[in-house]
């Protein structure tokens, strides 16, 4: 009898322990984000998880348009979407999937290369378009239908045609080396590292993070200057929409990234807290270190819909 009682108590203890082990499981925050955010978001994840050991942040990168389609077409669970273009969230996810977004960072288009790139000793901000058109030069860019860097590259070509007064420049640049178009901007990195290409049209932050040399382009064409917003808006492109067979027209604008929590986020409160961390001082520090300037002041087109915890980061209305 005594052995039976001891065995019963021991079995009960094991059963209780097993059934309560789940109570200490980490909460998982699922983040779909632009490929160009991979490095800073990985660092943000590490710093946040140190402060919150009960949270596991799952990062999944893709072109921003693809990130949105994972939500609208594939119905994949997601807490946070961070896009390289506020347009993606505002046009493809509001109001059906979220009611707000916050613009939080900027960037610029550059021509990136390495020491083995052909003509690397002579390329500059005045002749880059001529170097790219040389028959023995290969350059790469990302897909406009999948990635904002892709359609922003097209905008840069269009604006360059006007700025340099070079007829047909945009068409010439857009048609060359189409076999080297890739789904997202960070896919170009491996091509340049392997010397499979000579140049890539890229975000400055990605070039900085991977130690590439780069040519800075005039503000009139690099999409970095908020004061030139109206100039940038004179160009546009059609890209695939949120549903198969549809298209949407994207107009030029200065580069500004945006972020939001989905209405049906599985871990909504934790997701909002992580965004607060991104928008705070530590987040700004990490972005600056990675060659990407935080946007100041932060902007939301739907300030009244922004969660209360995040409104402190917006200008007072």
- CATH for 229: 3.40.190.10
Same domain, 120 and 212: yes
pLDDT at residue 103 above 60?
A: yes
In a domain, 14, yes or no: no
52-91 residue pLDDT tens: 999 999 999 999 999 999 999 999 999 999 999 999 999 9
Q: What is the mean pLDDT of the chain?
A: 92
Both 102 and 119 in one domain: the answer is no
Region of 56 please: left (phi>0), alpha (psi -120 to 50) or beta.
beta
CA–CA separation, 199 and 217 (whole Å): 14
Question: Would 120 be classed as within a structural domain?
Answer: yes
Mean pLDDT computed over 194-201: 98
Same-domain pairing of 146 and 178: yes
Question: Quick one: what percent of the chain has pLDDT higher than 90?
Answer: 88
Are 101 and 127 in the same domain?
A: no
User: Does residue 56 lie within any of the structural domains?
Assistant: yes
Domain match, 197 and 233 both: yes
pLDDT of residue 241: 80
- Verify that 129 and 214 share a domain, yes or no: yes
Coil, helix or strand at residue 192: helix
Q: Are 97 and 117 within one domain?
A: no
Q: Tell me, yes or no, whether 113 and 102 share the same domain.
A: no
Q: How confident is the model at residue 246 (pLDDT cuts 50, 70, 90)?
A: confident
Q: Is residue 248 part of a domain?
A: no
184-209 CB burial, b ≥16 within 10 A, e <16 = bbbbbbebbeeeebbbbbbbbbbbbb
Reading across the β-sheet that carries 139-142, which strands appear in turn?
A: 181-182, 139-142, 199-203, 109-113, 213-216
Residue 111 has pLDDT above 80, yes or no: yes
Q: Could you tell me if 169 and 289 lie in one domain?
A: no
In the chain, the number of structural domains is: 2
User: Of 207, 238, 269, which residue constitutes the final position of a domain?
Assistant: 238
Residues 261, 66, 42, 210, CA torsion sign: negative
Whole-prediction pTM value?
A: 0.88
Provide the 8-state DSSP code for 34. Answer: E
Mean pLDDT across the stretch 278-302? 96
Q: Of 238, 266, 287, which residue constitutes the final position of a domain?
A: 238
pLDDT at 201 over 90: yes
Strand 181-182 to 294-299 pairing: unpaired
Query: What are the pLDDT digits (tens) for 167-177?
Result: 999 999 999 99
One domain, residues 204 and 221: yes
- Give the model confidence (pLDDT) of 114-128 as tens digits: 999 999 999 999 999
Q: Terminal CA-to-CA distance of the chain, rounded, Å? A: 75
Q: pLDDT confidence of 157, banded at 50, 70, 90?
A: very high
Q: Which domain holds residue 304?
A: 26-106+256-311
Task: Report the distance separating Cα 97 and Cα 94, nearest Å.
Answer: 6
């Amino acid at each position: 009898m005594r052995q039976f009682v001891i065995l019963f108590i021991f079995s009960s203890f094991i059963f209780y322990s097993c059934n309560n082990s789940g109570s200490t499981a980490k909460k998982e925050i699922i983040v779909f984000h632009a490929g160009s955010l991979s490095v800073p978001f990985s660092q943000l994840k590490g710093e946040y998880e140190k402060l919150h050991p009960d949270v596991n942040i799952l990062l999944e990168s893709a072109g921003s348009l693809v990130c949105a389609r994972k939500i609208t077409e594939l119905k994949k669970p997601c807490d946070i979407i961070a896009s390289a273009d506020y347009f993606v969230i505002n046009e493809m996810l509001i109001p059906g999937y979220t009611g707000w977004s916050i613009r939080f960072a900027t960037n610029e288009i550059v021509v990136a290369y390495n020491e083995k790139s052909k003509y690397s000793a002579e390329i500059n901000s005045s002749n880059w378009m001529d170097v790219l058109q040389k028959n023995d030069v290969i350059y790469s860019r990302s897909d406009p239908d999948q990635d904002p860097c892709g359609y922003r590259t097209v905008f840069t070509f269009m604006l360059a045609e006007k700025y340099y007064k070079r007829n047909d420049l945009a068409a010439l640049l857009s048609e060359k080396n189409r076999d080297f178009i890739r789904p997202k901007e960070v896919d170009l990195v491996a091509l340049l590292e392997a010397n499979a290409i000579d140049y890539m049209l890229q975000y400055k932050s990605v070039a900085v993070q991977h130690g590439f040399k780069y040519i800075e382009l005039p503000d009139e064409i690099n999409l970095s200057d908020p004061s030139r917003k109206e100039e940038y808006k004179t160009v546009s492109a059609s890209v695939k929409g949120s549903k198969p067979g549809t298209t949407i027209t994207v107009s030029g604008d200065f580069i500004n990234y945006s972020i939001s929590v989905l209405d049906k986020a599985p871990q909504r409160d934790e997701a909002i807290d992580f965004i607060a961390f991104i928008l705070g001082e530590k987040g700004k520090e990490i972005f600056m270190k990675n060659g990407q300037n935080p946007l100041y002041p932060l902007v939301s087109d739907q300030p009244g819909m922004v969660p209360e915890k995040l409104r402190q980061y917006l200008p007072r209305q």
